[in-house]
């Protein structure tokens, strides 16, 4: 078989960039719009989304066992840890979600991966909103000396948030490593 032509190499490159889906390759004759300075800045900022995700994920998930330890021990250091993790986690979650929205328009996912991207974007956004709510509940609970009902809402919010963070993170990893990246 003769070597690929430049045009054939471009077609294969385009196929790989859309995730190398099975089936016939449909090549779009249109070129993407030119990169203005604004689009380039948005794209460049968006490229910080994947590495920025680990910080809020860690902080927001650690808040749950820290709250559990506070309930068991009533040591102020655990409550301070919870407030720190939730507050900093909320700030970084909002930044990370914003970077994700900057990155997504420049992603080339097709087929099932396009659906995963959509779910990841909206669950990531919901997670950032949840994190802000959790930080507000944490502050209110602390200022009002942990009334039982508010403390219960806060703990329920932490559990729901741990699930949201985990599912959004799993979907994000699926975009990078493939849909079955957890198969053993």
pLDDT digits (tens, 9 = 90+) for 34-48: 778 888 899 899 999
Asked whether residue 11 is assigned to any structural domain, the reply reads: no
Contact at 8 Å (CB) between 86 and 142?
no
> CB burial class (10 A; 0-12, 13-18, 19+) of residue 153?
middle
Q: What is the pLDDT along the chain (184 residues), one digit of tens a residue?
A: 577 777 777 777 777 776 776 665 555 555 666 778 888 899 899 999 989 999 899 999 999 999 999 999 999 999 999 999 999 999 999 999 999 999 988 887 777 788 899 999 999 999 999 999 999 999 888 888 877 888 888 999 999 999 999 999 999 988 888 877 777 6
Alpha helices in 18-53 (DSSP H): 37-46, 49-52
Domain assignment of residue 99, yes or no: yes
Helices then strands, each counted (H, E), the chain: 7, 0
71 belongs to a structural domain: yes
Q: Is 28 among the domain residues?
A: no
CATH number at residue 48: 1.20.120
Kindly report the pTM of this predicted structure: 0.76
Q: Could you give the number of structural domains in the chain?
A: 1
Domain membership of residue 148 (yes or no) is: yes
For residue 60, being part of any structural domain is answered with yes
Find the length of the chain: 184
Kindly state whether residue 41 falls inside one of the protein's structural domains: yes
- Tell me how far apart the alpha carbons of residues 169 and 19 are, in angstroms, rounded to a whole number: 19
pLDDT of residue 125: 96
Domain of 91, in residue numbers: 37-177
């Amino acid at each position: 078989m003769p070597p690929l032509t430049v045009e054939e190499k471009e077609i294969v490159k385009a196929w790989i960039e859309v995730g190398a889906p099975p089936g016939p390759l449909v090549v779009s004759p249109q070129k993407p719009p030119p990169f203005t300075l604004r689009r380039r800045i948005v794209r460049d900022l968006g490229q910080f989304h994947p590495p920025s995700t680990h910080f809020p994920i860690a902080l927001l998930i650690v808040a749950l066992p820290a709250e559990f330890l506070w309930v068991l021990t009533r040591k102020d250091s655990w409550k301070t840890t919870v407030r720190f993790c939730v507050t900093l986690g909320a700030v970084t979650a909002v930044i990370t979600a914003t970077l994700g929205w900057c990155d997504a328009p420049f992603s080339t996912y097709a087929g099932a991966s396009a659906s995963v991207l959509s779910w990841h974007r909206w669950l990531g956004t919901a997670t950032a909103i949840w994190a802000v709510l959790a930080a507000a509940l944490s502050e209110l609970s602390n200022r009002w000396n942990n009334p039982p009902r508010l403390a219960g809402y806060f703990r329920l919010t932490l559990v729901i948030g741990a699930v949201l963070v985990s599912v959004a993170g799993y979907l994000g990893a699926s975009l990078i490593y493939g849909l079955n990246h957890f198969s053993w």
